[in-house]
Amino acid sequence: MFQPVARFAAESLRYSTDLILPAVCVSCATPVTRHNLLCAKCWGDLVPITAPYCDRLGIPLPGYDDSGPHLSAQAFTDPPVFDRARAACVYGGVIRKLIVRFKFEDRHEPLPLFLRLTREAGRDLLADADLIVPVPLHRFRLLQRRFNQSALLAKGLSRASGVPASVMALKRTKRTKAQVGLQHDARRTNVAEAFNVGASGRRAVAGKRVLLVDDVITTGATANACSTALLAAGARAVDILAVALVWHGATNFLDEGGDVL
């Protein structure tokens, strides 16, 4: 009885919203048919990461066949602490603009789009996950920003998938520099031992396959540091899911002059 009523209320609210605030592209404000969508031009700017890709790092492997799984040279020479990483898109263009807007300008309009993209990209990871955990912010950074973008992603993925989320299981105990502009080794040093799992977090992650959620994977330094803390706390395994991944084959994007997160 209550579900049809709730559905009717939601549809009525959506219809009223459409009348008052016409739906526009979340990137360029071109009129679209529904809220929280991209227009055809901006959608065409996205570079989705699809097979073939590295099964460990999630980076595209152009020229490989689709049969998979494949491992990149980087995964062989410098294997990550986590098991698998997946991202929905290559970082750049429209997706970069939306992430920066979401993360630094307190604009949450892109969140439904991010959730749609990550649900699709992380379908297998979500199916295997026992617990979703966001990459945490240090408390001072959280006070400045007022929200943790990774926690919003984790909560949304939890609601959509039914996999429980624990936004407090993993804590950032070291106030690190911003990773923007740091090279690979500097990033790794910057976040070394920056994360910790407390007593309640240990109970939450013990024996679980944890899905760690972030907005962008750059070098994997943060993902590795978080995974190290989660595994030390008793997690069975850690996978990574992000909206976007910085891929150095995408030089046309990295030359745009924007910050790489």
The string of pLDDT tens digits covering residues 54-80 is: 999 999 999 888 777 899 999 999 999
Count of other CB atoms within 10 angstroms of residue 254: 17
Lowest mean pLDDT, pick from 50-64, 87-101, 200-214, 246-260: 246-260
Question: What pLDDT score does 123 carry?
Answer: 97
% the chain with pLDDT above 90: 63
DSSP label of 259: P
Closest C-alpha among 171, 188, 175 to residue 233: 171
pLDDT at 151 over 90: yes
Lowest mean pLDDT, pick from 21-25, 41-45, 166-170, 238-242: 21-25
Q: What does the domain layout of the chain look like in residue ranges?
A: 1-37, 46-254
Q: Render pLDDT for 175-198 as a digit per residue (tens, 0 to 9).
A: 555 545 545 555 555 555 679 899
Q: How many angstroms separate the Cα of 151 from the Cα of each of 135, 154, 204, 228, 252?
A: 7, 5, 16, 19, 30
Q: Which CATH architecture has domain 46-254?
A: 3-Layer(aba) Sandwich (3.40)
Closest C-alpha among 207, 213, 209 to residue 240: 213
DSSP label of 11: H
Confidence category of residue 1, pLDDT binned at 50, 70, 90: very low
pLDDT at 119 over 70: yes
% the chain with pLDDT above 70: 78
Question: What pLDDT score does 178 carry?
Answer: 57
Please state, in angstroms and rounded to a whole number, the distance separating the CA atoms of residues 154 and 214: 8
Confidence category of residue 251, pLDDT binned at 50, 70, 90: very low
pLDDT at 162 over 70: yes
Give the position of tokens 């429980």: 164
Question: What pLDDT score does 210 carry?
Answer: 99
Task: Please compute the mean of the pLDDT values over residues 204-224 and round it to a whole number.
Answer: 95
**111-121 vs 93-104: helix crossing angle, rounded to 10:** 120
Phi and psi (nearest 5°) for 246?
-75, 120
Average pLDDT, the chain: 84
Q: How many angstroms separate the Cα of 20 from the Cα of each of 14, 108, 206, 221?
A: 10, 19, 48, 45
